[in-house]
Structure 1
């Protein structure tokens, strides 16, 4: 198949969705599919040059919404070359522009929601939600309604999506997300990371890997780690991730107030072998997010045999809990403290058993080949036309968070100045 992915940016600092596009695109290309990506980035940024798939650079876009006058004409001129178009994310022009360009064409388009319909955003940012309502009926609602399918990575995400807007219609499909395990030897990766960070030698590393963002619960983790640090003399918290919102200073102030500033490292964003080495050098992975559609870093930790401590707002918590690949607790300071305390209470034999199970969970649920099979099967289905497909329930589906065994309660031509980059 010839597949076009549409994204607002290929900047790796934007988080998991673009990493998913990169990894799934490479995997599908290796299987014989032709994969291309269109982005609204400017041509002169370094991550555009480094992107490993054929890339059409249509920006720069304007403003936070990412409006780009050349985007719709380019799509209308080139979409017919593809068997399917996949839009990644909502609330920016690349999605609405795709609807404008493709709704009367024979090329089906699909939308990955990437957690952007989670009601957490409505409850946490009510003013932003009201702003979204001003263009929901004439923009995002139509984008979803007319898509061949709206893709969710978990059933949890699918059900949550129904709770944000009462005007909601979509052909909902679940395609489990996937990622790749590292290819190099664990010991080699671990030692390379520790050589780069010698102060972490012989430490029991508690690893957080993700954006430093309020929704990730970073402040809760720092506070909860204070107790863990008192009880575990060789524990060290590694807060690895980009700080696009300039929040690190405030987090460091929290650490200073708890007397643990020297027990926390802030290496910034880790990529490639340094990232994998950090997983292999760590004792446990923690993600106490208030909202998390999937959590690529969770799957990456499992791929490295690293047990995970997650909140019950990480949408794969049920799978983690039922498999015994980690522990789950509420997204509070107390919940995060209990996660660390429960891990701390385990003997080494039990920890090793959980490490083996972590890798089994990855292989069974989150490996890239499973995602590629599921996505390919969906794209091969004859599209029925988004407007004619079944609507989601008009009222939100009832949800339960009942605890399981391991739960811890508490124009038609391409504009001249656009560019295509082929690597």
Structure 2
């Protein structure tokens, strides 16, 4: 079996989608499945990771030639808004486009149960939930970078941190306000800022953030973020899964998340703390996490829970899915 594993705009798209594609290709390598990263109709399965116009062109022709099409549902109109400049404007027309594009697939891969519920309102194609997974090997040895990264960004334990693109949807306003309300704690957001792509509100929040709130920009070794951070605070409003969350759990960090449907699989008080209210509720949760023993217990449980998302645990789902559609 040969897979055309295509990622449109591969040289331009970053963030979670790029990480997911890297994870998928690692899993295909481990499964010893033949694949090409180019779009081709000479494969047994066409797997599209981003349903842009070129992917749609190939998907339509693949269907006409009897080549099964698998599409990843990384993008929804719901999580497109409050991301980059103009995405709010584009989110409304994006949904009908995605309904059409996803409808071209013979099978859809959804990164979470929440994402599947959304996608089932988009298209009638069969859906399968396959986690983006977490690359445990990528994080190996992160502990050794603690001193270097704490010194580089002038951070003292316990540091509240987040990893990923700095975008409003991920709870930027809450993160900054928490730093303002808790001046004795250091807050650090590790990840690209890309000011040219940000709206005025996002850049204002970054520029007006208090001194104890650090935006590092691009980090050359992401392991440094998990070494220097102590409490992973993820106040996102909308998420399809959250690879950074899985990475933080794998690193044994206690995680604090907004209580949204995406995170329904997490157990409050066992492998995370969930916050259903506003900033006050997040402040209360961080107060509880001042207890080192509570942080240790939650982090240990999180690490154990994350084992189910390792690439080795997820990989065989791809072999099964390709065999079913081919």
TM category, shorter? 0.7 to 0.9
Aligned pair count? 318
Q: Which blocks of at least 5 consecutive residues in structure 1 are unaligned?
A: 39-74, 384-423
Q: In the alignment, does 2:307 pair up with 1:363?
A: yes
Among 211, 215, 225, the alignment partner of 2:179 is 225
How far apart in 1 are the matches of 2:35 and 2:222? 26
Match of 1:242 in 2: 192
Q: Which blocks of at least 5 consecutive residues in structure 2 are unaligned?
A: none
Q: Tell me, yes or no, if the aligned pair for 1:118 and 1:161 is still in contact at 8 Å.
A: no
Match of 2:44 in 1: 83
How far apart in 1 are the matches of 2:80 and 2:149? 36
Distance 1:238 1:130, change over 3 A: closer
Match of 2:206 in 1: 252
Shift of 1:372: 1.0
Query: TM-score normalised to the size of structure 1?
Result: 0.68
Q: Tell me, yes or no, if the aligned pair for 2:268 and 2:274 is still in contact at 8 Å.
A: no
How far apart in 2 are the matches of 1:294 and 1:215? 14
Distance 1:334 1:198, change over 3 A: closer
Q: In the alignment, does 2:237 pair up with 1:275?
A: no
Q: In the alignment, does 2:318 pair up with 1:318?
A: no
Shift of 1:283: 1.2
> Computing the radius of gyration over CA atoms, which structure comes out larger, 1 or 2?
1
Match of 1:28 in 2: 28
Question: How is 1:18-97 mapped onto 2 (pairs within 5 angstroms)?
Answer: 18-38=18-38, 75=39, 78-80=40-42, 82-90=43-51, 92-97=52-57
Structure number with the bigger relative contact order (C-alpha 8 A, sep ≥ 6) is 1
Among 93, 100, 115, the alignment partner of 1:131 is 93
Q: Tell me, yes or no, if the aligned pair for 1:303 and 1:359 is still in contact at 8 Å.
A: yes
Match of 2:3 in 1: 3
Shift of 1:238: 0.7
How far apart in 2 are the matches of 1:314 and 1:289? 11
Query: TM-score normalised to the size of structure 2?
Result: 0.86
Shift of 1:293: 0.5
CA RMSD between the two structures: 2.8
How far apart in 2 are the matches of 1:377 and 1:162? 21
Among 372, 379, 392, the alignment partner of 2:315 is 372
Partner SS state of residue 328, structure 1: strand
Distance 1:282 1:161, change over 3 A: same
Match of 1:292 in 2: 239
Q: Tell me, yes or no, if the aligned pair for 2:76 and 2:98 is still in contact at 8 Å.
A: no
Between 1:97-106 and 1:334-343, the stretch displaced more is 334-343
How far apart in 2 are the matches of 1:193 and 1:11? 28
Distance 1:94 1:310, change over 3 A: farther
